[in-house]
Structure 1
Amino acid sequence: MATSTRKPVALVTGGGSGIGRATAVRFAELGYSCVVADIDEQSAKETLGMLQTPGIAVQVDVTMATSVEAMVTAAVQHFGRIDCAFNGAGFEGSYAKIVDHPEEVFDRVMALNAKGVWLCLKYEIAQMLQQEPVVSDPARWADKPDLCRFRGVRGSIVNASSILGLSGFQYNSPYCASKWAVLGITETAAVEYAKDGIRVNAVCPGLTATPMLDRFKEKCPPALRELLDPESYPFGRLAAPEEIAEAVCWLCSDACPFTTGEHLKITGGV
């Protein structure tokens, strides 16, 4: 069983912008080596340039098993293991009522947001199962051998769901369906691999100031525009991506070793 004397490794999909970029930057600030993965390799490289620790940029299409497997292989070849992962890649789709929504949009959103998370889990967990458990501080937990911290962890994963994974939202049924699916996948993976020392959780952000939100504003039906008013939120503002990143990194850390199969709602009181 290993101890945590080496630099831990974090993998972030959707790391080229928004919450994914903020999460990679925060992991680096906390001392992690980072694998920044994105469909847009140039954006991933731009994020890489913001990091304070060693890292690599990897192009990945999370809808393709071969691409996800290659991403995990690249991470392990470069850093030896994966301690944490944030599966943040996603797509908002378009906005219409169910009758008017194109079927191909539903398929695309589900492929990226649901199947993409499932594929990432499939290959991330397969790698973590091969890794030795890491104990954060053996001396501190020696008198409590049953605690997760003493037994060690092979890895911790956080998936990106949404506030729309918790309630229905008009004009956006594909996105809601995909984010509800993420929670089901998260809870299933958590119970399947808890005894192997692998934790799996999810975050459910509300509206966050990201490029995805900018695209939402451009395509938003008039009936939904009032929801974008920061004054409609208790704090009088929307979330910053860095605030979501803090939650992701906390869930990945050994500060919450008994937390798995959970979703953290981060919506500023909404």
Structure 2
Amino acid sequence: MTQASLDGYAIITGAASGIGKETAFALAEAGAKGVLFADIQGDKASAAAEDCKALAIAPDFKSISFTVDISDAQAVEEMVDHAKEQFGRIDYCVNAAGIDSPMVPFTDTPNDTFDQVHNVNVRGTFFVTKAVARVMAAQEPLTTTTKRFGPRTLSRGSIVIVASAIAFGAVPGKTSYCTSKHAVLGLARSSAMDLNSAGVRVNLVSPSWVNTPMLDTDRDRLPPGTIDGIIKQHIPLGRAAEPDEVAAAIVYLCGPGSTYVTGANIMIDNGLTLGPK
């Protein structure tokens, strides 16, 4: 089916920077009617929401922000209630919020670091997905019309979870982050199965290294050039992905061109997980 524009409303977590911010911009450029920028960094989320208005093509585009700690279940419920109040419905949700862990040997992994990473990456994603899915399952599905195929009923909503290529393998010294992304993979697949009958789709994108503030933090932790040297060694293109290259896949999974897709993963790693280059 010819890809039509997106004309619904979205919640993006982790929208103050990186993949989340770029995805929100891409959705606005694709025709979304409104986006809620959700992030624990409220000031940055508000600034991004303001910048987004210049990119939107929908005539009455609505861009708002919400300060939220997604590891707090009550705060997540308040965020979702606010989005429903402002937009009337929620058509797309992108779980892009997440935190990294320092590179340390397994036996030196601090217990509180393990808990903190899982509280955000796993529990937070669970809270957001569950709260949004309840709203989506109760609303009427969208429809779209194309010249070639006429009207077609879409899903009641699309949820995309940003996982990681590391969810399909492991790297040394990243126990907390690695196990959290393996858990997110299971969360996405199990929720996709349970929500399918309700007309709610859940999919994943799994990028390798992406030029975001999170990658910059890793660069700062190690001697200069270490991370970029590793990337150049293992990635055929010799560089990290840009956030817009991940956002493009997310927009596809949100949109009408992926009506028949749920429980799927798009690997965005330039072939890294295929084996040595």
For residue 187 of structure 1, the aligned residue among 189, 192, 201 is 189
In structure 1, the residue matched to 2:91 is 83
Q: CA RMSD in A?
A: 2.2
Q: Which amino acid aligns with 1:124?
A: V
**C-alpha contact 1:10 1:84 (8 A) present in aligned 2:** yes
Q: Which amino acid aligns with 1:111?
A: N
Q: How far does residue 150 in structure 1 lie from its aligned partner after superposition?
A: 3.3
**C-alpha contact 1:95 1:220 (8 A) present in aligned 2:** no
**C-alpha contact 2:13 2:38 (8 A) present in aligned 1:** yes
In structure 1, the residue matched to 2:64 is 56
Distance 1:82 1:183 in 2: 23
Distance 1:79 1:49 in 2: 17
5+ long unaligned stretches in structure 2: 273-277
**C-alpha contact 1:231 1:237 (8 A) present in aligned 2:** no
Higher mean displacement: 150-159 or 173-182: 150-159
In structure 2, the residue matched to 1:10 is 10
Higher mean displacement: 87-96 or 213-222: 213-222
DSSP-derived class of the 1:34 partner: strand
**C-alpha contact 1:94 1:172 (8 A) present in aligned 2:** yes
Q: Which amino acid aligns with 1:263?
A: N
Identity %: 34
For residue 138 of structure 2, the aligned residue among 118, 130, 134 is 130
Distance 1:58 1:258 in 2: 31
In structure 2, the residue matched to 1:146 is none
For residue 263 of structure 1, the aligned residue among 242, 262, 265 is 265
Normalization by structure 1: what TM-score? Answer: 0.91
Query: How many correspondences in the alignment?
Result: 261
Alignment of 1:30-69 (within 5 A): 30-32=30-32, 33-51=34-52, 52=56, 53-69=61-77
Q: How far does residue 118 in structure 1 lie from its aligned partner after superposition?
A: 0.5
DSSP-derived class of the 1:136 partner: strand
Q: How far does residue 153 in structure 1 lie from its aligned partner after superposition?
A: 1.2
5+ long unaligned stretches in structure 1: 143-148
Q: Does 1:218 align with 2:226?
A: no
Q: Which amino acid aligns with 2:192?
A: A
DSSP-derived class of the 2:152 partner: helix
Q: Does 1:99 align with 2:111?
A: no
